[in-house]
Amino acid sequence: MLLAAGASETFTPESWFFDNAWTIPALPCAAFILILLFGKRLPYKGAEIGIASVVTALGLAILTTGAWVGEYESHQGSHSAEAVTQDVELAQDTDSFEIAADAGEGGEGHVKAEPVVRKLDWLSSNGKSFGIGTLVDGQSVMMLLVVTFISTLVHVYSTDYVHGDRRFTHYFAFLSLFTSAMLFMVLSATTLQLIVGWELVGVCSFVLIGHWWEEKANSDAAMKAFLTNRVGDIGLLIGMTILFFAAGNTFDILDINDAAINGEIAHSTLTWASICLMAAVMSKSGQFILHTWLPDAMAGPTPVSALIHAATMVVAGVYMVGRLYPVFWDGMSIAGSSINLMALIGGITCVFGGALAFVQRDIKKVLAYSTVSQLGYMVMALGVGAWTAAMFHLFTHAFFKACLFLGAGSVSHACHHSFDMKADMGGLRKYMPTTHKTFLIASGALAGIPPLAGFWSKDEILAGTGGWPGTNGNGTYYIIFAMGMLTAAMTAAYMARTIWLTFYGDYRGHEEPHESGKRITVPLMILAFLAVVAGFFNMPSQWVGDGLGLKFEQWVEPAGTRLPGNFTHAKPSISLAIVASLLAVAAGAFVWNYYKKLYAKDPKATEYTDGLASRMPLAASAHKVLEEKYYLDHLYTDTIAAGTKGPLARAAYWFNQNILDGIVDGAGKGSVGLGRFIYKYIDQGTIDATVNQTAAGAGQSGGILRRVQSGKIRQYATLMFGAAAVLVAIFMAAV
Amino acid sequence: MLLNQFLGLAAILFCIGVYGVLTRRNGVMVLMSIELILNAVNINLVAFGAYQGDVGGQVFALFVIAVAAAEVGVGLAIVLLIYRNRRSIDVSEADLLQG
Amino acid sequence: MSQLAMLAAETQEIATNFFFYTIAIVSVLSALKMVTTDNVVHSALWLLIVLASVAAVYVFLGAEFAAATQILVYIGAILVLLLFGVMLTRAQIGHEDDLNHPQPMQGLMVAVILFATMVYALADAFGTTRLDALSEQRVERTDAVADAIFSTYIVPFEAISVLLLAALIGAIVVARRD
């Protein structure tokens, strides 16, 4: 609205740290090589190299952040004198209310930092050059800080947690590589680098999730994570290729963004590109239907889960959306309407993911689904145009989610490596006071209890949807807003359940639990402290004044040219904040009382028989669906993956038996008759016959294909040379 | 002389080598046939180098010879291992990759 | 050019062609014997003749250094290695029945198709392109080869030396009895 008038001044930040940002990912990478080469022979088995490198990287990241903030504040200081006079002049001839609001929002009254790009040509072929370089702006500086910070704490924590493990050195080597890969991705100036970092992150997560690969379940989980991510990676490659050609043969992220903003790329091209890229985001950032690998990835050591969920792996997708925001914003918006597909995906993910967290027995899986849900929140925020809110939520979420995961690890450390809340936990607050307190604070932050970190970021997202009166975001999304509110309530509820089951009631495990050592509790306390204060970086200016408010937005938000031009920030609303907080507290209290009553009858019960699920048939079927994770895993493994071997028919039959019949029974007798009719005639007669024939056809073609795989070297060689001859012939004919 | 005289000779030797690889059952003889193929390629490299007046063709032929030496070393080691495990170097018997 | 010089050039052309075809026929026949003989040691000896005639072909192309290397490395080292392989795997010295695959037709077909496409491609691309390999300026001096290896191609050269080392260690590791 006010873009032309308040044209914000841009400046180019200068500092040694921005020019040499490559050193930050280079340090852990060097550590990876050194640990592999010499780790086993060192007194601490290589952990000291990893910690030293990541602490140095953290130091550099802090200095970089300091330089960035310092540059901003000094330019802002010299600018604000002029800006005030400008604003006054403008206020006389335009609507003064809007100007005041916008200036307060940190948009136009503030200077903007230009990204610092340092690039060199990696290789050039046929006139196209493939660059490699670093891109330093608010977003990447923020991520550098988060990644190195969480990684440092995870490193320290790990020295105790995986102490004595047979692959201790190997573990630290890959922890370093994981950190390095994520930092490399964060700093990438070209989409090509983004892909490389993205894949490296995937490989490292595979190795670390399968760290204890001797157990089949763990190596399966690693495979699942890797394969699910491959599905998205294909989308990433295709999407990036489309963007390369659409933006005029360039891999440069800034060039692509500029092309998208200036309308040089057709809307349909952007749509295809962003749909392909969205597949990658969905698999990496665990968005609904491709999120199934995330809970299974809990098979890895707990510090790795913390790293994956808080700082490295899963936020990669959100980060990429933020990076290529003009592409996604334009591409994912459905033509002719104001609905953005991204918001829908995020909204569905946060509701469905949150619902799954209710039925888990495994404390880490609760947290995993909560991550899915919170990532949905971020994607939803990006979808409604609340870029800064999404990044801020990423920032705060990193701290409290890392705290929760490390807390869960501490609990399992005490409970003899069990994660089962119902069977082995309960009443732990007496035994583990530090873990209990930090877990409580982080849960409060996650649930959005003021004034903890999550409250500020969640509130900003909710305001960003524009669904609450007087918030005025980039449109008014009532459904998305409702989904956000629902998720906020659900988050508080399932965290209340988790805390009750873990820390309250009576201890249900065997043997005495004990508080963890210093190397575990100190990182927890640091993270809990941050879970309290991280939110203060972006308090609305309207509430706390311009001097304190919206610092995060001013520091992180990129220069105006890199976000689509017509962006505005939603106005914060006190009534919304109060309602959302009360909703969260009420939901939490309700669940708390429910469990308190449930366990009052038999404090030692590891399975309770008179819960909601056993009293109400509707709740029971909902419970069943949730426990089976919406049957998505069955869909993937039984139907899609094993489809060629013929269980298609079985799966369809099973689907019928379990789901259709379940619904039918609940609905009543009349429906049962209908169900029987369907089952007998339509299903058996039509569907099964079709399905059987499909399976038989697949089986036959499999049999034919099988003959090619004879294992005979000679046959392979014959095919290879024959195929080469045929290809040469085709080539000759074509040229 | 024609360039094709050399290229044609190389093509004939190449195809004889391919025939050898595909029909021999003895692992060592398969390796010999591969050497024949590599030699045919080398003739091409040297011939094109002479045709272009570029010394690079010859240099790469030398590199191929060096790589061939490495290849034979590793190849024979594998054949020996197969022999030690199965008491036979019949490559058509080594079909554990069967799907 | 005078009549005499033209005549001399023509005679030289005929002479080189004569020698080339002699060597080519020898190498092709030896190669055929090599892939068909039913005696492993004979096969290795036929390969020797093929390798030697390829060295001779290099001389035709003015590549003396390559020819020398061919003889030193291939005949001096690789062939001996192959004969060791024959010995260590205790192949029969003499006639053997099951050296060839029972159905050679597949291999023959592939080889013939490959040959046909290659001949077509060569005829199409270089039909009557002349190669004056023996004229003065075409002969590559050995010092030029050395210069090229140690300046332009120094990186691949070093890479090959590392590769040879790796192959050496790899071969020992694979074949070692443990």
Per-residue confidence (pLDDT) for residue A130, from 0 to 100: 76
The 3 state secondary structure assigned to A246-312 is HCCCCCEHHHHHHHHHCCCCCHHHHHHHHHHHHHHHHHHCCCCCCCCHHHHHHHCCHHHHHHHHHCC
Per-residue confidence (pLDDT) for residue A707, from 0 to 100: 67
A348 pLDDT higher than 60:
yes
Considering only CA atoms, which of A4, A187, A30, A164 is closest in space to residue A94? A4
Per-residue confidence (pLDDT) for residue B3, from 0 to 100: 86
C78 and C11 in a common domain: yes
Interface contact A711-B96, CB threshold 8 A: yes
SS3 of C134, please?
coil
Per-residue confidence (pLDDT) for residue A84, from 0 to 100: 54
Looking at per-residue pLDDT, the higher value among A113 and B69 belongs to B69
Per-residue confidence (pLDDT) for residue C165, from 0 to 100: 93
Query: Rounded to an integer, what distance in angstroms lies between the CA atom of residue A53 and that of residue A173?
Result: 11
Contacts of A534 (CB under 8 A, 6+ apart): A395, A396, A399, A400, A453
Q: Compute the mean pLDDT over every residue in chain A, rounded to the nearest whole number.
A: 77
Q: Is C21 on the interface with A (CB under 8 A)?
A: no
The CA-atom distances, in angstroms, between C96 and each of B84, C83, C93, C99 are 20, 16, 8, 6
| DSSP line for A40-73 | GGSTTTTHHHHHHHHHHHHHHHHHHHHHHHHHHH
A443 inside domain? yes
Interface contact A721-B22, CB threshold 8 A: yes
A287 pLDDT higher than 70:
yes
Q: What is the pLDDT of residues A556-580, one digit of tens each?
A: 776 544 666 566 677 777 888 888 8
Q: What is the pLDDT of residues A432-467, one digit of tens each?
A: 888 888 888 888 888 888 778 888 888 888 888 777
- When divided into structural domains, chain C yields a total of 2
Interface contact A710-B98, CB threshold 8 A: yes
Could you say which DSSP state residue A563 is in? S
B42 inside domain? yes
Would you tell me the crossing angle of helices A518-533 and A138-161 to the nearest 10 degrees? 150
Per-residue confidence (pLDDT) for residue A616, from 0 to 100: 63
Could you say which DSSP state residue A516 is in? -
Q: Is A716 on the interface with C (CB under 8 A)?
A: no
Q: What is the pLDDT of residues C101-110, one digit of tens each?
A: 777 788 888 8
Count of A-C CB contacts under 8 Å: 26
A507 inside domain? yes
**Is residue B39 a contact partner of residue C50, using CB atoms and an 8 Å limit?**
yes
Interface contact C110-A722, CB threshold 8 A: yes
Interface contact A721-C110, CB threshold 8 A: yes
Interface test with C, best of B12, B16, B79 (most C CBs within 10 A): B16
Query: Rounded to an integer, what distance in angstroms lies between the CA atom of residue A159 and that of residue A572?
Result: 43
Position A550 confidence tier, pLDDT thresholds 50, 70, 90: confident
Looking at per-residue pLDDT, the higher value among B34 and C88 belongs to B34
Q: Is A33 on the interface with B (CB under 8 A)?
A: no
A77 pLDDT higher than 50:
yes
B98 inside domain? no
Would you tell me the crossing angle of helices B3-23 and C3-36 to the nearest 10 degrees? 0
How buried is residue A734: exposed, middle or buried, by Cβ count under 10 Å (0-12/13-18/19+)?
A: exposed
What residues of chain A lie within 8 A of the CB of B92, using their CB? 712-714
- When divided into structural domains, chain A yields a total of 2
What residues of chain B lie within 8 A of the CB of C54, using their CB? 13, 39, 42-43
C64 and C152 in a common domain: no
Domain with residue B83: its CATH number is 1.10.287.3510
- Which residues constitute the domain of residue A432? 395-561+568-607
SS3 of A504, please?
coil
- Which residues constitute the domain of residue C170? 136-178
Q: Is A702 on the interface with B (CB under 8 A)?
A: no
Interface contact B92-A706, CB threshold 8 A: no
Considering only CA atoms, which of A361, A339, A365, A341 is closest in space to residue A353? A365
A548 and A436 in a common domain: yes
- Which residues constitute the domain of residue B12? 3-93
Last residue of a domain, one of A607, A638, A670: A607
Position A657 confidence tier, pLDDT thresholds 50, 70, 90: low
Interface contact C124-A718, CB threshold 8 A: no
The CA-atom distances, in angstroms, between A151 and each of A30, A35, A310 are 16, 16, 10
Strand A116-125 and strand A128-136: pairing? Answer: antiparallel
Q: What is the pLDDT of residues A520-533, one digit of tens each?
A: 888 888 888 888 88
C112 inside domain? no
Interface test with A, best of B14, B21, B37 (most A CBs within 10 A): B21
Taking the CA of residue C64 and the nearest CA in chain A, the distance in Å comes to 32
**Is residue A46 a contact partner of residue A167, using CB atoms and an 8 Å limit?**
no
A731 and A588 in a common domain: no
Could you say which DSSP state residue A628 is in? T
Interface contact C130-B1, CB threshold 8 A: yes
CA atoms within 13 A on the CB side of A39: 24
Least confident of A281-295, A575-589, A690-704: A690-704
C84 inside domain? yes
Q: Is A709 on the interface with B (CB under 8 A)?
A: yes
**Is residue A569 a contact partner of residue A553, using CB atoms and an 8 Å limit?**
yes
Show the tokens assigned to B90.
């019949």
Position A91 confidence tier, pLDDT thresholds 50, 70, 90: very low
Would you tell me the crossing angle of helices A363-384 and A387-414 to the nearest 10 degrees? 180
Query: Rounded to an integer, what distance in angstroms lies between the CA atom of residue A323 and that of residue A558?
Result: 10
**Is residue A138 a contact partner of residue A68, using CB atoms and an 8 Å limit?**
yes
C93 and C9 in a common domain: yes
Interface contact A710-B92, CB threshold 8 A: no
What residues of chain C lie within 8 A of the CB of B43, using their CB? 54, 57-58
Least confident of A7-11, A482-486, B36-40: A7-11
Count of B-C CB contacts under 8 Å: 260
C33 and C80 in a common domain: yes
The residue-averaged pLDDT of A319-325 equals 86
**Is residue A553 a contact partner of residue A443, using CB atoms and an 8 Å limit?**
no
C108 inside domain? no
Q: What is the pLDDT of residues A698-733, one digit of tens each?
A: 777 777 666 666 677 777 888 888 888 888 888 877
A475 inside domain? yes
The residue-averaged pLDDT of A370-377 equals 88
Neighbours of chain B (3+ CB pairs under 8 A): A, C
Considering only CA atoms, which of A639, A661, A665 is closest in space to residue A650? A639
Taking the CA of residue C121 and the nearest CA in chain A, the distance in Å comes to 7
Q: Is B3 on the interface with C (CB under 8 A)?
A: yes
C142 and C91 in a common domain: no
- When divided into structural domains, chain B yields a total of 1
Considering only CA atoms, which of A350, A281, A597, A664 is closest in space to residue A494? A350
Contacts of A533 (CB under 8 A, 6+ apart): A453
Per-residue confidence (pLDDT) for residue C29, from 0 to 100: 94
Nearest CB neighbour to A709, from listed B21, B92, B99: B99
Could you say which DSSP state residue A448 is in? T
